[in-house]
Amino acid sequence: PYEVLVVGGGPAGSSAAIYTARKGIRTGIVAERFGGQVLDTMSIENFISVKKTEGPKMVASLEEHVKDYDIDIMNLQRASLLNKKDLFELELENGGVLKSKSVIISTGARWRQIGVPGEEEFKNKGVAYCPHCDGPLFEGKDVAVIGGGNSGVEAAIDLAGLVKHVTVLEFGSELKADEVLQKRLHSLPNVTVHTDAQTTEITGDENVNGLTYVDRQTNEEKHIELEGVFVQIGLVPNTEWLGDFVERTRTGEIVVDKHGATSVPGVYAAGDCTDSPNNQIIISMGDGANAALGAFDHLIRS
């Protein structure tokens, strides 16, 4: 059996595995897709100490770093169930079962997609999900934010300081963000808000050139010309497979304490799959290191 089994091979999982391996602990990583969301990222400019890089390049260095240690990497394997008998037992979709004394869950999250024509086609060509990451790429341009909840309105406020103009599109009849955020939003000169607006298509040729929506009050179809669309309708943690095994929030995030410990002793979690408030590479790596040290502490005491 393993002493630590890391489930998920993104920045959080890679960092956790390196930290436990460096303690001389028998470590394995199971990943559906090693690299995680970083593989889908074009340009990364906020990983401190690296001025600018690309997702696949960062994943290659992550992999190189992990492989520098005696860590079993089980890539292209999807975990489907976690149980505790004498040891923890992780069931894989392929029927295999892996045993371990402790587990670090780092299965990340996925952006909720809007599912309209053009979204998939123009991903990284004007369709974006992360304002902290991609906002600066749209400096001086016209963009839209789809979603009027806290993340959408925060994104719009953030972007308004960089881009020429922001149009916020909310499907419902009013914005759902906190009052103070809405106030801030309405105080900005370069923001327009459309409620009752159902986005139906993201248009473009090489890159995004516009967005079509239906005004649900009048049923009229409208088109806006712009160069960027930020989809901000939520982030879904990849934790469905855990069921009730560990405590999760209403939205599925794994509840962790300061040490990355979950509700089950010996099970830790890190990165975007947890209830930690900000989802970034640098933060996930820090969380992974923290959870690894938590797991190490647990192992030497049990």
Q: Which residue stretch of 105-113, 166-174, 220-228, 260-268 sits at the interface with ligand FAD (rule: CB under 6 A)?
A: 105-113
Q: Supply the DSSP string of 48-105, one letter for each residue.
A: TTBSSEEHHHHHHHHHHHHHTSSEEEEET--EEEEEESSSEEEEETTS-EEEEEEEEE
User: Are 181 and 193 spatial neighbours (Cβ–Cβ below 8 Å)?
Assistant: no
- Tokens matching residue 129: 């999900």
130 is annotated as an active-site residue: yes
To ligand FAD, the closest distance from the beta carbon of 228 in angstroms equals: 13
**Closest Cα to residue 8, out of 129, 103, 112?**
103
User: Residue 167: enclosing H or E segment and its boundaries?
Assistant: strand 165-169
Q: Which residues are 100's β-sheet partners?
A: 2, 88
* Ligand-binding site membership of 145 (annotated): yes
Residue closest to ligand FAD when measured from CB atoms:
108
Query: Is 71 among the residues that bind ligand FAD (CB under 6 A)?
Result: no
* Ligand-binding site membership of 264 (annotated): yes
Which one, 192 or 251, has the nearer CB to ligand FAD? 251
- Tokens matching residue 92: 């894989």
14 vs 63: CA distance, rounded Å: 8
Q: Which residues are 267's β-sheet partners?
A: 103
Can you tell me which of 33, 184, 194, 216 binds ligand FAD, judged by CB under 6 A? Answer: 33
Q: What would you report as the CA-atom Rg of the chain, rounded to the nearest whole angstrom?
A: 21
257 is annotated as an active-site residue: no
Can you tell me which of 81, 133, 236, 264 binds ligand FAD, judged by CB under 6 A? Answer: 133
User: What residues contact 113, with CB distance under 8 A and at least 6 apart?
Assistant: 119, 120, 231
Query: Is 30 among the residues that bind ligand FAD (CB under 6 A)?
Result: yes
Query: Is 175 among the residues that bind ligand FAD (CB under 6 A)?
Result: no
Which one, 125 or 194, has the nearer CB to ligand FAD? 125
Which one, 108 or 191, has the nearer CB to ligand FAD? 108
Can you tell me which of 18, 25, 44, 233 binds ligand FAD, judged by CB under 6 A? Answer: 44
**Amino acid at residue number 146:** I
Can you tell me which of 11, 126, 210, 237 binds ligand FAD, judged by CB under 6 A? Answer: 11
Query: Is 271 among the residues that bind ligand FAD (CB under 6 A)?
Result: yes
- Catalytic pick among 72, 133, 215, 275: 133
- Tokens matching residue 112: 């909720």
Which one, 156 or 291, has the nearer CB to ligand FAD? 291
User: Are 106 and 256 spatial neighbours (Cβ–Cβ below 8 Å)?
Assistant: no
- Tokens matching residue 291: 């959870």
Can you tell me which of 20, 21, 28, 32 binds ligand FAD, judged by CB under 6 A? Answer: 32
Count residues near ligand FAD (CB under 6 A): 38
Q: Which residues are 142's β-sheet partners?
A: 165
**Closest Cα to residue 73, out of 27, 16, 23?**
27
To ligand FAD, the closest distance from the beta carbon of 205 in angstroms equals: 21
Residue ranges of the binding site for NAD(+)? 142-156
Which residue ranges make up the site for ligand FAD (CB under 6 A)? 7-13, 30-34, 36-38, 40-41, 44, 46, 78-79, 106-109, 111, 129-130, 133, 238, 241, 271-272, 279-282, 284
Q: Which residues are catalytic?
A: 130, 133-134
Residue ranges of the binding site for FAD? 3-18, 262-272
